[in-house]
Amino acid sequence: MRKMIPINAPQTDEREIEMVTKVLKSGNLTARVGSSSMVADFEQAYAKLVESKHAIAVSSGTAALHMALLAAGVKLNDEVIIPSFTFVATAEAVVLCGAKPVFVDIDPLTYNLDPEEFRKAINSKTKALIPVDLYGLSADMQALSKIAREHNLAVIEDAAQAHGAVYKRKPPGYFADMTCWSFYASKNMTTGEGGMITTNNDESADVLRCTRSHGEKGEYVSFMLGHNYRMPEMEAAIGLTQMEKLPAFLEKRRRNAERLTERLSLVKRLALPKEPEGYRHSWYLYTTRLEDGNRAERDGTIEELRKRGIGATVYYGTPIHLMPFYRQFATHNLPRAEKASEQVISLPIHPGVTLQEIDYIADSVIEVVG
């Protein structure tokens, strides 16, 4: 049997080992508030990368979302508008604040939150919006932020999948109040786990730094309710190394995505991923769609591709509003999200996939679907 081509794989080498070893030898595994550290260096470098004034490193992308909502003042009985077609962490963070997630439908071409659906969902309880840059393609942040400003709503961009994306010539976060990133092992760059919040707002940055470490501004003095959401030094050391490699990672992902699009463009049953004018995809996932298919046929297609050693996967097979726990917050069906969940197929394009493997994936998809 052919060795499986995984849907994603972290790309590390001796450089990451060297940096982690450096931290272990230093004995400084977790930096205290305000101290010089790998975390501080990583924050400074990441802020520069995404053209943000502040970057606050945290323990995960989910922690970043939770902290950003707290910093935006989201509390019990508030409502936060989010897409349902995304990873559950986006909704999870809202509920952790005691607020209600309000699910809205997507643009079927980009899979991102539809601005008009957002507008229709706003009411007197709405406190914030979390648009998600799904699969590595930015949401229509200019349109979404304009609507949010009209209603005095906080905009927290979930850019967990969008390292290296560009929208209107700007990196993710330019049109948001706060932006949340993930460095989970599958992402375009990784720290193993870990996350980051970026913002240009000084007050928000101060609140986020306090929240991250038990509400402390000084050692053992808490000024507000906080949490332990700190990033360890070893993760930051890996992150610094991965940042250096990110441009090459993105170039390989784009090369693989463009080759796959070229090869699959003649398969009429497949809707291939779009890169609208003014956007630059970061190609976290290459997600195609079996347009006239149903869930059973899509699942059968994935099963057949897996038999051939291709790690085809579904992101996301169950919209959040249909998950058992989150049904309590659902008020209506979301037909576009539900249809997408039955038809999407993600294919491997990460930097470890060779052009020969891309051709093998394309040949297999053509044979199975075409």
Give the residue-averaged pLDDT of 334-357.
Answer: 98
Please tell me the predicted confidence (pLDDT) of residue 218. 77
Written as six digits, the tokens of 114 are 């539809």
- The average confidence (pLDDT) of the chain is 96
Q: Which two tokens stand for residue 202?
A: 């000084």
Nearest to 224 by CA among 77, 93, 71: 71
Q: Any idea how long the chain is?
A: 370
CATH of region 14-241: 3.40.640.10
State residue 36's pLDDT score.
Answer: 63
Q: In which residue ranges of the chain is CATH 3.40.640.10 found?
A: 14-241
Neighbours of 363 (CB within 10 A): 12
The whole-angstrom separation of Cα 61 and Cα 158 is: 9
For domain 246-369, the CATH superfamily is: Aspartate Aminotransferase, domain 1 (3.90.1150.10)
pLDDT of amino acid 2: 79
What is the amino acid identity at position 187? Answer: K
**Binning pLDDT at 50, 70 and 90, where does residue 332 land?**
very high
User: Would you say 289 and 273 are in contact if contact means Cβ atoms under 8 Å apart?
Assistant: no
pLDDT at position 60? 98
Which band of pLDDT confidence, cut at 50, 70 and 90, is reported for residue 325?
Answer: very high
User: Residue 161 pLDDT more than 60?
Assistant: yes
Q: Where in the chain is the domain with CATH 3.90.1150.10?
A: 246-369
Tell me the pLDDT tens digit for each residue of 78-112.
Answer: 999 999 999 999 999 999 999 999 999 999 999 99
CA distance 32 to 202: 21
* Cβ partners under 8 Å of residue 296, min gap 6: none
How far out from the chain centre does Cα 291 lie?
25
| Stretch 336-363: mean pLDDT | 98
pTM of the full structure: 0.96
pLDDT of residue 1: 59
**What's the distance, CA 72 to chain centroid?**
20
Return d(Cα 179, Cα 72) in angstroms, integer: 12
